[in-house]
Amino acid sequence: MAEKQFVKEIADINGDFPQWYTDVVLKTQLVDYGPIKGTMVIRPYGYAIWENIQRELDARFKATGHQNAYFPMLIPQSLLLKEAEHVEGFAPEVAMVHVAGGEKLAEPCVVRPTSETIICSMYSKWINSYRDLPLKLNQWANVVRWEKTTRPFLRTSEFLWQEGHTVHATQEESMKETIDMLHLYHDFARDVLAMPTFIGKKSEKEKFAGAEATYGMEAMMLDGKSLQAGTTHHFGQKFSKAYDIMFLDKDGKHKHAWQSSWGVSTRLIGAIIMAHGDQRGLVLPPMVAPIQAVVIPVAAHKPGVLEKAREIADLLKNAGIRVQLDDRDQSPGWKFNEWEMKGVPMRLEIGPRDIENGVAMVARRDTCEKFTMPLDGIAQSAHELLATIQTNMYNKSLAFRDSHVKIAHNMDELQQVLDSQCFAKVVWDQDPACEALFKEKYQATVRVMLDEEPFQDTCTCCGEKCEHPVVALVARAY
Amino acid sequence: MAEKQFVKEIADINGDFPQWYTDVVLKTQLVDYGPIKGTMVIRPYGYAIWENIQRELDARFKATGHQNAYFPMLIPQSLLLKEAEHVEGFAPEVAMVHVAGGEKLAEPCVVRPTSETIICSMYSKWINSYRDLPLKLNQWANVVRWEKTTRPFLRTSEFLWQEGHTVHATQEESMKETIDMLHLYHDFARDVLAMPTFIGKKSEKEKFAGAEATYGMEAMMLDGKSLQAGTTHHFGQKFSKAYDIMFLDKDGKHKHAWQSSWGVSTRLIGAIIMAHGDQRGLVLPPMVAPIQAVVIPVAAHKPGVLEKAREIADLLKNAGIRVQLDDRDQSPGWKFNEWEMKGVPMRLEIGPRDIENGVAMVARRDTCEKFTMPLDGIAQSAHELLATIQTNMYNKSLAFRDSHVKIAHNMDELQQVLDSQCFAKVVWDQDPACEALFKEKYQATVRVMLDEEPFQDTCTCCGEKCEHPVVALVARAY
């Protein structure tokens, strides 16, 4: 019955995953389309997830010595042009401002697609001595990239993100920062989003425009496609040379600084949806769920029911749980469906008989199990259940992922693996020609190179003996 | 000695207040100029103040039933044009995007100067029934207004702010929201920024483009000028008619909704600086100070001193105080100056003799007093001192303000009051001609109309008998 009702509202997750995604993000009011093509409005329910992500990440950034700052959104075009590879990568998708305040600007500006250029121009001014280093700043901001094909959260003309930009006196330090932040993202995804990820170096082709090396965090979605959920970049001295960031070192010599940058965006919300959702809609990890528990009075007109439901809700709220009492004039069944679709981790039903028995009926969103929970000590029990749900969601995702990664010894096997909606581990000699073939033949790309021993000495693609074999993760991707 | 040193770094606050302001914001590294004229970079020390403002305000918004959301920054030009007064007010200062992704856009976009237009277009879609009301959303965002004359925090081409946008079923409700939020801002300024403000209705001339009524919060700066620190607007049904926001009411009738909007911005940081600063630089209220206490070891090379200083700093940190240990290789005197300029509310000095005596030497930034504080129970004592400083700063500001507001019975008195760097209370018949004379003769404006009994029945400006006399606050303003 419930299943049937949902089929009316959202497309079949197994039959049409892209439509399921679109239905879910719109019907649960996470997001709406903005008036300009490719833009999104992040509605309160979606924005609250972003706030939870921000709070958790920001605390981790600060605990590792980073500070927040804010740089202007409008960048003089000439600044963008200073780093050759960077401009080549970003120029095609920038939005330009030629007119402001009723006048044509002497020099046009670009709306930031990312802030390396303007931040480096300020760093050049601020950094003079080794005493000014390391400088580890982060910015929470909106960026604009004019994309041809857009989907809410996954790829939009404007999105929200954070971008860290650090400067160091030595290559060792900036490389350590690049790797440390990759691990910070990985641990955050695991502990907060309940999402296992693969981390590793990106191929030359996939690296950030202007970086010496890019590292990525890739998450498996339920359709077997990969989503790039975060990246960290090692710039070496490329930007410090282009933007003249020099410091007087302890040895009395003037040197170019070493840099990193790293970012995650509102795309993470898309990752959560596609990593955990099911036929009924969203399944949100308790750590980021805007509402962790919903309390629903059953037979609310009977004396004492609404009061008891409110009492329980207050109890949970005071215990630090994000709770909502749903006392709207709708049937309990209607409410169950609504909150299931919205992915609230736990539902508590309070009816006359439950009150008599000193219990609440509890439904877990992750397993759809129903059971009673004693009202006595319910705040503690609720906390424990939320922790259990968080852990279970991670374990479930991990088991799903592990059963969907397969080794491909050759191109035939690669096709089979990809067509069965899995990620493939391949051996690859880092030859761009083979990488191009993955794309051309199977619409798949090298997501990251894994820190694993090669399982054969020949390339999965060309079959030739490798000189520098690596294990690469190959998948279709968002 | 210390005074002398500061004279070198920052201009005389009494001799050249504008230069003092510029010196302070730059030398304390709150802000720097961006590469495009009129833009600012908010540096970590300045941004941390904004984060403290955000956290405190956001909690108050949520406690009063508001939710956050995020709307696109780029607004189709046609949307801006729908409300006639609104477009007239904002069109002259917008930045325009004509080209994006390498192509000329079919319709140009404006970079939001404020978001009424795009938010109302979405509300029109979302709101159908009285059940959807009230809708009380807030957005934290950047906005762009191309200004001719700019100063960091006070008036910049891009700034950060929050904008609340609410929709109600009745005029009473939307008017109540407009006034409630004005009081929320007023209480926030008093309790968090230690800043007394005047609140009241704005004149017709000064109201927001498209509003039926605007209310303002005005703060007195140390040079006797007024700074508009926040505004709330009652839209009546003007925007709901322009953007077609209708709902089916309980009585079965379709009605246009009633709306409010309200905002404060990074301008508040400028207000803090100019309301509390002194000859030595910043004086920050503990509630928003990025660093509430700095611990400085004296004779740090002597055994046990640095360890003790670190121990004290850790103790304060664990007690929830934002503390910094300054163990840099600089003289204590140099550090005292630096942290005084940066406005840190309390400084603790730890030297060998202090340790021997079981005390720390404490310096209050607000009064510049120095005294000893027992190490025993120091976390509790520090908390109490911070609370005392917060209260004292408010009382000091209030006394300053109250002694700088004077009654002006006629235009001669008004000139005297304004020239003595005070605010004037005038009686005014709400005649725009008189308002224009305040400006023309004395470069002063009606800041707000106060909820007070008129002290005479004739207009301060024209001397004629008033039909609808109000007490207006007239001042020179930022």
Contact B355, B344 (CB under 8 A): no
Q: Do B157 and A74 touch (CB under 8 A)?
A: yes
What is the pLDDT, as a whole number, of residue A4? Answer: 47
Q: Please state the rounded mean pLDDT for residues B454-477.
A: 97
Which residues of chain B have a CB within 8 Å of the CB of A32? 122, 125-126
pLDDT digits (tens, 9 = 90+) for B149-185: 999 999 999 999 999 999 999 999 999 999 999 999 9
Which residues of chain A have a CB within 8 Å of the CB of B41? 69-72, 122
Whether the per-residue pLDDT at B312 is higher than 60: the answer is: yes
Helix axes A411-419, A432-442, angle to 10 degrees: 50
Q: Identify whether residues A161 and A88 lie together within a single domain.
A: yes
Domain boundary among B214, B247, B276: B276
Q: Identify whether residues A69 and A192 lie together within a single domain.
A: yes
Which residues of chain A have a CB within 8 Å of the CB of B90? none
Q: Do A32 and B79 touch (CB under 8 A)?
A: no
Q: Which of B43, B96, B125 sits opposite A69 (nearest CB)?
A: B43
Q: Identify whether residues A175 and A321 lie together within a single domain.
A: no
Which residues of chain B have a CB within 8 Å of the CB of A76? 35-36
The interface pTM score, or ipTM, of the predicted complex is 0.96
What is the pLDDT, as a whole number, of residue A2? Answer: 47
Q: Which of B34, B75, B93 sits opposite A101 (nearest CB)?
A: B93
Q: Give one DSSP letter per residue of B402-465, joined into a string.
A: HTTEEE-SSHHHHHHHHHTT-EEEEEE---HHHHHHHHHHHS-EEEEEESS--S-SB-TTT-PB
Q: Identify whether residues B260 and B358 lie together within a single domain.
A: no
Looking at B222-375, list the stretches that DSSP marks H as alpha helix, in order from N- to C-terminal side.
Answer: 238-242, 267-276, 305-318, 332-341, 352-357
Whether the per-residue pLDDT at B3 is higher than 50: the answer is: no
The per-type count for chain A, helices as H runs and strands as E runs, is 15, 23
Phi then psi for residue B166, to 5 deg, are -120, 155
Q: Do A96 and B98 touch (CB under 8 A)?
A: yes
10 Å CB burial of residue B206 (0-12, 13-18, 19+) is middle
Q: Which of B51, B73, B102 sits opposite A158 (nearest CB)?
A: B73
Contact A283, A365 (CB under 8 A): yes
Q: Which of A68, A95, A99 sits opposite B100 (nearest CB)?
A: A95
Q: B84 in helix, strand or coil?
A: helix
Domain-located, residue B396:
no
Domain-located, residue A233:
yes
Q: Do A118 and B35 touch (CB under 8 A)?
A: yes
Which of A194, A277, A202, A210 has the alpha carbon at shortest distance from A243?
Answer: A210
Q: Identify whether residues B337 and B256 lie together within a single domain.
A: no
Which of A4, A19, A20 has the alpha carbon at shortest distance from A281?
Answer: A20
Give A472→chain B minimum CA distance, Å: 32
Residue of B66, B70, B122 for testing the chain A interface, max A β-carbons within 10 Å: B70
Q: What residue in B sits closest to A30 (Cα-Cα)?
A: B69
Q: How many domains does chain A have?
A: 3
Q: What residue in A sits closest to B80 (Cα-Cα)?
A: A35
What is the pLDDT, as a whole number, of residue B9? Answer: 84
Which residues of chain A have a CB within 8 Å of the CB of B146? 100-102
Q: Identify whether residues A310 and A427 lie together within a single domain.
A: no
pLDDT digits (tens, 9 = 90+) for A28-37: 999 999 999 8
Q: Do A68 and B47 touch (CB under 8 A)?
A: yes
CA distance A230 to B117: 33
CA distance A224 to A234: 29
Q: Which of B32, B111, B158 sits opposite A122 (nearest CB)?
A: B32
Q: B57 in helix, strand or coil?
A: helix
Sign of the torsion angle spanned by Cα atoms A113, B145, B273, B51? negative
Cβ neighbours, 10 Å, residue B194: 27
- Provide the 8-state DSSP code for A75: E
What is the pLDDT, as a whole number, of residue A116? Answer: 96
Q: What is the CATH number of the domain that holds B419?
A: 3.30.110.30
pLDDT digits (tens, 9 = 90+) for A396-415: 999 999 999 999 999 999 99
3-state secondary structure A12-70: CCCCCHHHHHHHHHHHCCCEEECCCCCCEEECHHHHHHHHHHHHHHHHHHHHCCCEECE
Domain-located, residue A10:
yes
Q: Identify whether residues B378 and B246 lie together within a single domain.
A: no
Give B373→chain A minimum CA distance, Å: 30
Give A36→chain B minimum CA distance, Å: 7
pLDDT digits (tens, 9 = 90+) for B9-68: 899 999 999 999 999 999 999 999 999 989 999 999 999 999 999 999 999 999 999 999
Q: Identify whether residues A180 and A239 lie together within a single domain.
A: yes
What is the pLDDT, as a whole number, of residue B8? Answer: 67
pLDDT digits (tens, 9 = 90+) for A132-151: 999 999 999 999 999 989 99
Residues of chain A short of pLDDT 50, as ranges, are: 1-4, 6-7
CA distance B39 to A397: 45
For residue B338, name the pLDDT band (cuts at 50, 70, 90). Answer: very high
Domain-located, residue A389:
no
Q: Identify whether residues A167 and A307 lie together within a single domain.
A: no
Q: Identify whether residues B180 and B263 lie together within a single domain.
A: yes
Which residues of chain A have a CB within 8 Å of the CB of B32? 122, 125-126
pLDDT digits (tens, 9 = 90+) for B229-263: 999 999 999 999 999 999 999 999 999 999 999 99
How many angstroms separate the Cα of A305 from the Cα of each of A75, A294, A350, B405?
Answer: 59, 15, 7, 57
Domain-located, residue A327:
yes
A-to-B residue pairs, Cβ atoms closer than 8 angstroms: 158
Q: What is the CATH number of the domain that holds B217?
A: 3.30.930.10
Residue B463 makes CB contacts below 8 A (sequence gap 6+) with B410
CA distance B390 to B383: 11
Give A150→chain B minimum CA distance, Å: 13
Q: Identify whether residues B246 and B366 lie together within a single domain.
A: no
Q: A339 in helix, strand or coil?
A: helix
Residue of A73, A149, A324 for testing the chain B interface, max B β-carbons within 10 Å: A73
What is the pLDDT, as a whole number, of residue A437? Answer: 97
Looking at A319-466, list the stretches that DSSP marks H as alpha helix, in order from N- to C-terminal side.
Answer: 332-341, 352-357, 378-402, 411-419, 432-442
Q: Do B41 and A96 touch (CB under 8 A)?
A: no
Domain span at residue A248 reads 2-276
Q: Which of A35, A42, A98 sits opposite B70 (nearest CB)?
A: A42
What is the pLDDT, as a whole number, of residue A7? Answer: 47
The CA-based dihedral angle spanning residues B84, B86, B89, B95, taken in that order and rounded to the nearest 10 degrees: -110
Which residues of chain B have a CB within 8 Å of the CB of A35? 72, 75-76, 79, 118, 121
Which residues of chain B have a CB within 8 Å of the CB of A74? 36, 39, 95, 144, 157-158
Domain-located, residue A150:
yes
Whether the per-residue pLDDT at B192 is higher than 50: the answer is: yes
Domain boundary among B246, B276, B306: B276
Q: Which of A42, A92, A95 sits opposite B97 (nearest CB)?
A: A95
Which residues of chain B have a CB within 8 Å of the CB of A137? 44
Give B47→chain A minimum CA distance, Å: 5
Q: What residue in A sits closest to B32 (Cα-Cα)?
A: A122
Domain-located, residue B425:
yes
Q: Do A41 and B72 touch (CB under 8 A)?
A: yes
What is the pLDDT, as a whole number, of residue A87? Answer: 86
Domain-located, residue B3:
no
Which of A164, A105, A241 has the alpha carbon at shortest distance from B99?
Answer: A105
Q: Identify whether residues B67 and B116 lie together within a single domain.
A: yes
pLDDT digits (tens, 9 = 90+) for B91-129: 889 999 999 999 999 999 999 999 999 999 999 999 999
Domain boundary among B224, B251, B276: B276
DSSP run (H or E) holding A78: helix A77-80
For tokens 């970003």, what's the residue? A90
10 Å CB burial of residue A415 (0-12, 13-18, 19+) is middle
